Structure 1
Amino acid sequence: MMAEQPLVLSPQGHLKLIIFDCDGVLVDSEETCCRISAEEARRVGMHVPDDQAVKVFSGMALPGIQHMIEKETGAQLGKDWASMMQKRFVSAMKSGVEPIEGVYDMLNGIRKLGVPVRVASNSSQEEMDAKFSITNLEHFFENRIHSARDMGIPKPKPDVYLKAAEEEGVSPSECLVLEDSDTGARAAVNAGMTCVMLRADEKPIPEWENILRINSLSQFAPLVQKALQLQGR
Structure 2
Amino acid sequence: MPPTPASIRAVLFDCDGVLVNSEGITNQVLCQLFNDAGWPLSYDECFAIFHGKAVRDERARIEQATGQPLTEDWMARFYALRNQRLGAELQAIAGAVEAVRELHQRFEGRIACASGGDRLKLDLQLQKVGLYPLFEGRIFSGQELPRNKPHPDVYLAAARALGIFPEQCVVVEDSVPGATAGLAAGATVIGYDPHGLYEAPMRAAGVRHFITDMATLPAAVAALA
Normalising by structure 2, what TM-score? 0.88
Contact 2:172 2:191 in 1 (8 A): yes
2:23 to 30, 39, 45: 30
Cα distance, 1:76 vs structure 2: 1.7
1:149 aligns with 2:146: no
2:115 to 115, 121, 127: 121
Q: Which residue of 2 aligns with 1:231?
A: none
Identity of matched residues, %? 26
Is the alpha carbon distance of 1:151 and 1:83 closer, same or farther for their aligned partners in structure 2, counting shifts above 3 Å? farther
Q: Which residue of 2 aligns with 1:3?
A: none
2:152 to 153, 158, 163: 158
What's the secondary structure of 2:157's corresponding residue? helix
Cα distance, 1:184 vs structure 2: 0.7
Cα distance, 1:22 vs structure 2: 0.3
Cα-Cα RMSD = 1.9
Normalising by structure 1, what TM-score? 0.85
1:14 aligns with 2:7: yes
Cα distance, 1:149 vs structure 2: 1.8
Is the alpha carbon distance of 1:99 and 1:201 closer, same or farther for their aligned partners in structure 2, counting shifts above 3 Å? closer
Cα distance, 1:148 vs structure 2: 0.9
Q: Which has the higher helix share?
A: 2
2:60 to 67, 85, 89: 67
Instruction: Tell me whether 74-83 or 211-220 shows the greater mean CA deviation.
Output: 74-83
Q: Which residue of 1 aligns with 2:129?
A: 135
1:85 aligns with 2:82: no
Q: Report the residue type matching 2:48 in the other structure.
A: K
**Where does structure 1 lack aligned partners over 5 or more consecutive residues?**
1-6, 229-233
Contact 1:37 1:57 in 2 (8 A): no
Q: Which residue of 1 aligns with 2:194?
A: 200
Matches of 1:70 and 1:43 in 2, distance apart?
A: 14
Cα distance, 1:79 vs structure 2: 4.1
Q: Which residue of 2 aligns with 1:216?
A: 213
What's the secondary structure of 1:218's corresponding residue? helix
Q: List structure 1 segments (4+ residues) > 6 angstroms apart after TM superposition.
A: none
Cα distance, 1:151 vs structure 2: 2.8
